[in-house]
Amino acid sequence: MYGKKTDFSKEQETIYDLTLDLARGDFTSQLENGKLSKVDLENHLREKIDKEILKGKTLYQAFRRNNIVLFEIMEEMTNVTIGEDVMDSPFINAFVEMKNRALGDKTAFYSEGGLLSVASFAGNHWDTNRQAIDVGQEVTLPSEWIYIHVYEELERFLLGITGLERVMDKIYKSVNKYIQDRLYAQFQNAANSVPSEFSKSGNSEEAIGALVDLVQAAGGYNSITIAGTKGALRKFAGIIPDKMFANSQKEAKAQTGSIGDWEGNTLMVIPQTLKSGTFDVALDDSKIFIMGGDVKPIKLEFIGDTRSEMDTTGKKNNDQTIDIQIQTKLGIGLLLPQYFGVFTLA
């Protein structure tokens, strides 16, 4: 259970809880007037901030006096919720192992060792070849800071046209989108580390099947997951004769862009993303990745040391704007299994 680092008053705790509800998209909170819609909750939060924090002063004066409390609410909210939406994806649930130091998780990840070789011999002696036991190792991710720094016209902010709850909603969603895009791109980096024996190319179902069989046999996996962008999985489906599609596969392709399963193996869509500041796709639409069904090669850790700062005086930039910045610390890494495959569709 996450213990907040900040001791809020009862009134401030209510505002914090309402902010969490909005960030999580939970608009069914039971209050005195019953269930609330998103608009109702936003209005209710604004009223609470006005009454409990601003206490009837003008917004300019009140923020100048009480902005520390608002910073702490933003920081606590970011620590608790920053990873919740990130994991709301079948692909990320399947391939990302996440830890949150703010929630008390142990920060090291464990890398499983390989299987032992078993050999036969005639017996009646101890003069056999020996091997070291590879029990794996613990790995700690390098950490990095990410941030969002925004501004808005002071007058629009003071009039409530751009309210704090709206600013926080944008920041929260943008940070989560950034992290998700990083995770998708990180998975593609596996193509740079695949052993040559497990890197194949071609345009036939048989060639893909042979690589799947090799990975499954080498890793001793009970099941296999094949991941690729929708573009890659469309190419993959294109080399499978339509007459081999079951009705369920046709329905899955129409609904998700993937036929869902192939020869008992799960097909997983990697959501496509764009290169920063461009309209160019970032992920390769020609590669599919073959992984053991229980392998999570991407590691993500939230450190929880979130920091925020707001300026409503215009002194920093010598203009009539509010200035809001939120920084948080995380670690992202790729811890690849010993056996996996990458197939490039020609």
Confidence of residue 155 (pLDDT cuts 50, 70, 90): low
d(CA 268, CA 89): 11
pLDDT of 9 over the 60 cut: yes
* pLDDT, position 28: 59
pLDDT digits (tens, 9 = 90+) for 195-234: 889 999 999 999 999 999 999 999 999 999 999 998 998 8
State both tokens at 245: 């599609």
Whether 269 and 256 have beta carbons less than 8 Å apart is answered as yes
Contacts of 26 (CB under 8 A, 6+ apart): 20
Summarize the confidence of residues 28-39 as an average pLDDT: 59
Classify residue 31 as left (phi > 0), alpha (psi -120 to 50) or beta: beta
| pTM as predicted | 0.69
In a domain, 243, yes or no: yes
State both tokens at 261: 């399963």
In a domain, 88, yes or no: yes
Confidence of residue 87 (pLDDT cuts 50, 70, 90): low
* pLDDT, position 244: 67
State both tokens at 234: 């469309």
**Count of structural domains, the chain:** 1
Q: Residue 192 has what DSSP assignment?
A: G
* pLDDT, position 136: 54
In a domain, 4, yes or no: no
Which of 106-110, 212-216, 254-258, 301-305 ranks highest by mean pLDDT? 212-216
In a domain, 335, yes or no: yes
CA neighbor of 167 nearest in space, from 107, 78, 240: 78
CATH of the domain at 166: 3.90.1690
In a domain, 51, yes or no: no
In a domain, 172, yes or no: yes
CA neighbor of 71 nearest in space, from 303, 329, 304, 306: 306
DSSP string spanning 98-132?
EEEGGGT----EEEPPPPPP------S--------
Contacts of 308 (CB under 8 A, 6+ apart): 71, 74, 75, 78, 324, 325, 326, 327
C-alpha angle 254-260-265 in degrees, rounded to nearest 5: 160
Kindly report the backbone phi and psi dihedral angles of residue 294, in degrees, each rounded to the nearest multiple of 5, phi listed first.
-110, 15
pLDDT digits (tens, 9 = 90+) for 279-295: 888 889 999 999 998 88
* CA distances in angstroms from 304 to 30, 74, 99, 101, 223, listed in the order given: 29, 12, 11, 6, 35
C-alpha angle 252-258-263 in degrees, rounded to nearest 5: 90
Q: Print the domain residue range for 171.
A: 82-113+130-346
In a domain, 40, yes or no: no
